[in-house]
Structure 1
Amino acid sequence: MQYLLGAHDLRVPVDGAYGPRTVTAVREFQTRHGLTPDGQVGQRTWPVLIVPVRSGSRGQAVHAVQDASHTLDPHYQPKLALDGEFGPRTAAWVRHYQGAVHALVDGEVGPTTWNHLAKGDRAS
């Protein structure tokens, strides 16, 4: 989620902790998008927060996918570079991951794949 906030130009440290700085960034995001600024990423905030990514995409949202590959699929080789560029290796991993979690295999990270990543569904 912190990477996705960064994709929306809200700078928050990516530390995996839902601390005060993250809550503040979520509230700011919610205010910008006309949502109730409660600081929680729930059913109304999440769909607005996600950033679909595909081959050729760049930035924090791609970095989030690449980072997730290391934790949700630790045995996948070769490891993805955390460079924020959705190139052929990232696309291959996304297709692999989508198949592993029984999602539509299209190589794009849209709402369904983001939901699997956010829930921490592991590739196995």
Structure 2
Amino acid sequence: MALQPWPLVRLGDKAHPVPSLQYHLRQRGYPVDVDGDVGPKTDAAVRAFQKAKKLGVDGIVGPLTWTALVTTVRRGDTGDAVRSVQEEFQYRNLSDEEGNAPAVDGIFGPVTEAAVYDWQQLLHDNDEPAMAVDGIVGPMTWQSLISGMYAG
């Protein structure tokens, strides 16, 4: 499986990857609730972000909006973008045991870093040889997580 494309997210969408979208909007200063539902407030925040970044203002979060929205995070970082990384690993935690994935606490510590390294290694070895295995969540790692690779 090659790197999957960025998903399209719009008004009315629920569940993955909506929480990640909402965390990234919060990271960028748009105070939306992280409720997994693209309602009117999240839609308005997407449109405001698109306008601020001089993107097409259509309320649809596609490749250009995702690329402008995601923030590179690494060990030592804190905040909502880190919560998005952690949320992505919880989403893939099929055991439903919280300890099997990093806690969603917004702190990029050793547990989150180890999960990122393991994820990148998995993709590098099986799907995407261009994937850097560096523990840093940059655009390619974000795309692999947000696109839903290896989920469910």
TM-score calculated relative to the size of structure 2: 0.74
* Cα distance in 2 between the residues matched to 1:98 and 1:105: 5
Following superposition, the deviation at residue 15 of structure 1 comes to 1.6
Query: 1:51 is matched with which residue: 67, 71, 75?
Result: 71
Question: Which 4+ residue blocks in structure 1 deviate beyond 6 angstroms?
Answer: none
Deviations 1:41-86 (A, max 9, x none): 1222111101000011110000011111111244585431211011
CA distance in 2, matches of 1:73, 1:107: 19
Letter in 2 for 1:79: A
Which is worse superposed, 50-59 or 77-86? Answer: 77-86
Q: Given that residues 82 and 106 in structure 2 are in contact (C-alpha distance below 8 angstroms), is that contact kept between their aligned partners in structure 1?
A: yes
- Does 17-26 or 84-93 show the bigger shift? 17-26
**Within 1, Cα distance between the matches of 2:39 and 2:143?**
22
Q: Which residue of the partner structure matches residue 82 of structure 2?
A: 62
| 2:30 corresponds to 1:17 | no
1:82-103: CA deviations, max 9, x gaps? Answer: 1101111110010011122333
Where in structure 2 are the equivalents of 1:1-124 lying within 5 Å?
1-75=21-95, 77-102=99-124, 103-122=131-150
Assess if the C-alpha contact under 8 Å between 1:101 and 1:121 holds in 2: no
How many residue pairs get matched?
A: 124
Gaps in structure 1 of 5+ consecutive residues: none
- Once the 2 structures are TM-superposed, how far is the Cα of residue 104 of structure 1 from its aligned partner? 2.2
Range that drifts further, 53-62 or 64-73: 64-73
Choose 33-42 or 106-115, whichever is displaced more. 33-42
Q: 1:38 to 1:104 in 2, by over 3 A?
A: same
> Partner of 1:101: helix, strand, or coil?
helix
**Identical columns (%):** 43
1-structure distance, mates of 2:31, 2:116:
26
